Amino acid sequence: MSHTVQIDPILLSKVTKPARYVGGEWNSVVKDHNQVKLTVAYCFPDVYEVAMSHLGLRILYALLNERDDVAAERVYAPWPDMEQVMRDNGYPLYSLETKTAVADFDMVGFTLQYEMSFTNILNMLDLAGISLYAKDRGEDMPIIAAGGPCAFNAEPLADYIDVFFLGESEESTQLLADTIIAWKEQGKPGGKKGLLKILATQQGNYVPSFYEPQYTAAGDFQKLVPLEAEAADHIEKCVVSDMEQVFFPTKPIVPNIDIVHNRAVLELFRGCSRGCRFCQAGMLYRPVREKTPQRLVEMARKIIANSGYNEISLMSLSSADYSCLPELVDMLIDEFKDQRVSISLPSLRVDSFSVDIAKKVQQVRKSGLTFAPEAGSQRLRDVINKGVTEENLLSACENAFSNGWSKVKLYFMMGLPTETDEDLAGIADLAYKVLNLYRHVTGRNNGTVTISVSSFVPKSHTAFQWFGQQPVEEIERKQQFIKNLIRDRHITYHYHDAKTGRLEAAFARGDRRMGRVLYEAWKLGCKFDGWTEMFNYDTWMQAFAAAGIDPDYYAARQRDVEEPLPWDHLSNGASKAFLQREWKRAHTGELTPDCRHQNCTGCGVCLQLGVHIIDNKEGRDHVQDTFGC
């Protein structure tokens, strides 16, 4: 029997942004729990404004609510002032749609977007009155599930989650719902463990309690030993082979307050084939599968009609790589010419073609342009397989400045493998070249260049997963090194906190023992660690000490390319041999081509998962089968 949480409006008025907690938004779906067979609480471990901007949860929420037999509702992390009200007054964590206590749902699903939100997962479970550790939960508690990019190294959360879902969930979610409903209707045979055994046999599902980690005498991870017959040695991700007809929500929830990305979103394609060696998303979501411009315009028409938004964001990992982008932009501009709906591109390629597209989409007003050279020297750009040159960037900027732009933002990383101070000096040098180019092209001195430099975090399933992150002190030295090279007030320099990056790396490359650190940090009050004002590095160091773990064992240790890795059993389809080849090629600065336009690079995804690149310009079978893919 589920119970509704009734929050006193007087108490709600005492917190910042009470609209975060009331629900009732346009296009939200409210169902009677007594009329459905399955209830799902989709939890995003961050505040409303961030959570409402996440496309993945929006898709799954709308997908399940299309069914008459399922009610899917949203749950977001309350900000500390609201959490205090809830704890002081005995309010459990509840859903936005029906204000139902989270503990009363059949399944509670968390999305894992960012390692620094992990403490919020524990905090939300505790607020819900659900035991943190999976082993401590009784049969009356919901199944706790998790998916998203961080699920590809699930081990730091393994003690807390019943089942992880790897990959794209549009199709597997339907099977999941059918499986749980059938299990319930049959009288829940075998209890929760019986359900998990069924789920463990389905593609993409990882049940961590069905495995036991083993370590060497020296304390290094050795292997995972399956404990149940249903536990597979390798879990392959789920993948949608054809994006053209896959479900996409056309009735987006319109938020009560402004959110991070408050606009309509069109997903142009999934995947990226550029092969940047630092990029986890580029590996996890292979291969590229495009939608047609006609399908995208049809979806845009419905979304705008159902939401009233006046801006459409063209979203993908690298939106400017969409093969039919000029045609699509023309079609959208024509479709909405009488409705004052603008088009936005979140990222641009470092080429003049991008600027020509930007000219079309920014006819009303010219905001700044953003490019991502990633490294300051050509040598280092070759190491990371970025595949762009300084000439590409300067040519694009010259085109932009000739067409009225005066603001350029450049994204870089520091702490990359083989990086030297000379490479870092190249970042400042590039900023000056862009600024001087503006002055030369326009004859004016009102241009601005913003450089944003983040510290590199090695991630699982990338060519750089073996690389040890540089110490905090070295990253901070490098940050000041660049700062000292910038003397022009028209250049703005931003950099990210190195200490946050160290923790992110420890979790990104961690094993199950990192779960102890997470618990200690939560007990000490850590939460919203991705927010600068909430992050407390010293408290985290206390947590590592209490758990008896050295963060640098995970974050900074250079790993042998042959050693077993805690995430080897979780597969995105790309072979470890391919990543090892890429690691070696990085050290010689050897470029690997974009498999979408040149030879297959042999990563193994298409062959392993039975999917193909879908490129509307070149057709799905254009790739040369060099490796038999």
Of residues 595, 459, 461, 529, the one with CA closest to residue 166: 461
Residues 6+ apart with CB under 8 A from 462: 277, 278, 279, 280, 283, 579
Q: What is the CATH number of the domain that holds 167?
A: 3.40.50.280
Question: What pTM was estimated for this model as a whole?
Answer: 0.95
Q: What is the CATH number of the domain that holds 419?
A: 3.30.750.200
Residue 300 domain flag: no
Looking at the fold, whether 428 and 388 belong to one and the same domain comes out as: yes
Looking at the fold, whether 19 and 153 belong to one and the same domain comes out as: yes
357, with CB counted inside 10 A (0-12, 13-18, 19+), is buried
Looking at the fold, whether 464 and 380 belong to one and the same domain comes out as: yes
Taking only the tens place, the pLDDT of each residue in 534-553 is 999 999 999 999 999 999 99
Of residues 619, 477, 479, 470, the one with CA closest to residue 552: 470
Question: Per residue, what are the HEC states of 191-246?
Answer: HHHHHHHHHHCCCCEECHHHEEEEECCCCCEEEEEECCCCCCCCEECECCCCCCCC
Looking at the fold, whether 194 and 229 belong to one and the same domain comes out as: yes
Looking at the fold, whether 423 and 447 belong to one and the same domain comes out as: yes
Tokens 């035991």 sit on residue: 131
Rg (CA), the chain: 25
Residue 452 domain flag: yes
Taking only the tens place, the pLDDT of each residue in 275-309 is 999 999 999 999 999 999 999 999 999 999 999 99
Residue 557 domain flag: yes
DSSP 4: B
Residue 178 domain flag: yes
CA 336 to chain centre: 30
Looking at the fold, whether 538 and 561 belong to one and the same domain comes out as: no
pLDDT on residue 267: 95
- Is the Cβ–Cβ distance between 131 and 55 less than 8 Å? no
Cα–Cα dist 124/102, whole Å: 9
What are the counts of helices (DSSP H) followed by strands (DSSP E) for the chain? Answer: 21, 19
Integer angstrom CA distances of residue 64 from 25, 77, 415: 18, 22, 42
Give the side-chain half-sphere CA count within 13 A for 195: 25
Model confidence at 324, in pLDDT bands (50, 70, 90)? very high
Looking at the fold, whether 406 and 533 belong to one and the same domain comes out as: no
Beta strand 491-495 with 570-571 is unpaired
Residue 17 domain flag: yes
Looking at the fold, whether 524 and 508 belong to one and the same domain comes out as: no
Range of the domain at 541: 514-548
Residue 361 domain flag: no
Residue 84 domain flag: yes
Taking only the tens place, the pLDDT of each residue in 568-616 is 999 999 999 999 999 999 999 999 998 888 889 889 999 899 999 988 8
**Does 520 have pLDDT greater than 70?**
yes
Residue 180 domain flag: yes
Looking at the fold, whether 451 and 582 belong to one and the same domain comes out as: yes
pLDDT on residue 426: 98
* Domains contained in the chain, number: 3
